[in-house]
A = this chain, B = another copy of it.
């Protein structure tokens, strides 16, 4: 395929290198900032890419919601397939982008937007062909897993574990998006949409790990438990619930042993049962590999859309995520929404123990 790549950071460079080395694909354009757009094929003018009728597929590897979202729209309107790594932009305009793609008979693929190299989206789409998906949950953020793993393994406190994550490049200088659960929020929306074939709400409880302390982890460890930040999503018939929260786990749970900045996603289908997928949720080379696999799937025609995939109208029902919440040493029962609200009001850490998942 003839391909344009928007963005030339770490991931973009790896994607471009793979495409340049490929016999099947042709890298036509690289969108780069004006001062850096000096090499052949580079341009700072996105309209040259969108107006090039030979470009069949646009790879969006830009950071931030804008102009990534607008560029994806332009590409789909111009009849080009889109592959994106940008979860914020994808969540911002999920329905609009999907409907544009469907109207144009185009593919919109987003494997790398949802857990880096881990084949969550492809597996969800494949399972959804033969299964009713009943739940999607797990460790969807490498930064927070790294911090908690560091605290668990080395007895570190929160602040030095965060600094170590920043030193290693796993956490941003401003780590808010990771620590607050916002990054996981976007991933669980995208995966829930894909699993349940609907457009899920983006208004649901989100609790992060900003208030996590050594003492809290020690308390759970003494009870044979630990805590990991989870994206959570369940469906029962026509109803669903979504949330993001630190989840209490027994020490023999697989999730309790996910090391460093790795992720572990669980998909539950009514026939396949639970399938868990583990791998690098970030990183230049692994994420670029997921982008190229999306391109390959589109090129092989195996990713062609089959009509209105996101056609279901499900109802958001927060009671489907209920259980116990540990807040400041006290155990409460309620929905995750209620427990999140209480933790927020008290400015304390919430550890959520789902009654059912």
Interface residues in chain A, defined as those with a beta carbon under 8 Å from any beta carbon in chain B: 18, 117-119, 122-123, 126-127, 129-131, 153, 252-254, 256-259, 264, 269, 271-280, 283, 285-286, 288-290, 292-293, 296-297, 300-302
Contacts and interface: CB of A to CB of B under 8 A. Distances in A.
A271 B289 contact: yes
A299 to B, nearest CB: 10
B272 A286 contact: yes
A117 B279 contact: no
A269 B293 CA distance: 13
A21 to B, nearest CB: 11
Contacts of A277: 275-278
Contact of A296 (B18, B129, B280, B300): B129
Contact of A256 (B118, B257, B274): B257
Contacts of A126: 119, 122, 293, 296-297
Contact of A118 (B18, B275, B297): B275
A280 B117 CA distance: 22
Contact of A302 (B264, B273, B301): B301
B289 A130 contact: yes
Contacts of A289: 130-131, 269, 271-272
A288 B130 CA distance: 10
Contact of A117 (B273, B288, B300): B273
Nearest to A276: B278
A25 to B, nearest CB: 11
Nearest to A304: B300
A278 B279 contact: no
30 contacts: A117-B272, A117-B273, A118-B275, A122-B126, A126-B293, A126-B297, A127-B293, A129-B293, A129-B296, A130-B289, A130-B296, A252-B257, A253-B257, A254-B254, A254-B258, A254-B278, A256-B257, A257-B257, A271-B289, A272-B286, A273-B279, A273-B285, A273-B286, A274-B278, A274-B279, A275-B279, A276-B276, A277-B277, A277-B278, A301-B301
A3 to B, nearest CB: 14
Contacts of A274: 278-280
A57 to B, nearest CB: 16
Given A130-B289, A296-B129, A278 B278 contact: yes
Given A118-B275, A275-B278, A276-B276, 14 more contacts: A117-B275, A122-B126, A127-B293, A129-B293, A153-B252, A271-B285, A272-B289, A273-B279, A273-B286, A274-B278, A274-B279, A274-B280, A277-B278, A300-B302
B119 A275 contact: yes
A23 to B, nearest CB: 13
Contacts of A130: 18, 289, 292-293, 296
Contacts of A118: 275
Given A269-B289, A275-B279, A277-B275, A119 B123 contact: yes
A249 to B, nearest CB: 11
A240 to B, nearest CB: 22
A27 to B, nearest CB: 15
Nearest to A253: B257
Contacts of A283: 273
Contacts of A290: 272
Contacts of A129: 293, 296
Contacts of A153: 252
